[in-house]
Amino acid sequence: MVVLTEDEFDPRQRIGLLSLKVLAKGAGLGWQGRSLLIINPEYGPVHRWIAVLTNVDLQADQPIPNRCGECSLCIDKCPKGALTLVPFDDHPDRREDVLDIQACLGDEGCKVCLVVCPWAKAEDIC
């Protein structure tokens, strides 16, 4: 079974049937940044995740600790103020504490949190 990001249970709240972010973090592919995007050390926050569900035994990498440190550029530069600075190491207690999903313009093409992230590479942002 393949699970795509677009396979959303509730598109208004952007809550999926399965959290690809949780799977990506658990597989050691990145950490959850202050923008709640998964940030990969090589590709930054610019990527798309899919999951293939299988019963094959696979060896996951070690989870990557959060490397955002004191950075808050994604929060400071958000044009709609959709992000709130909430300290967390792995992930916030509730998404709603960090992100106002109704204010976020990500579905309308806003890329500010991607562009300002120090882990992003300009050539990867189109």
Composition of the chain by helix, strand, coil, percent to 5: 20, 15, 65
Length reported for the chain: 126
Residues 6+ apart with CB under 8 A from 46: 114, 120, 121, 124, 125
Inter-residue contact 45 to 117 (CB < 8 Å): yes
60's enclosing H/E stretch is none
List per-residue pLDDT tens for the chain, 126 residues long: 776 666 666 767 777 777 888 889 988 999 999 999 999 999 999 988 888 888 999 888 899 999 999 999 999 999 999 999 999 888 899 999 999 999 999 888 999 999 999 999 866 665
- Please report, for the chain, the start and end positions of each structural domain, with discontinuous segments joined by +: 1-126
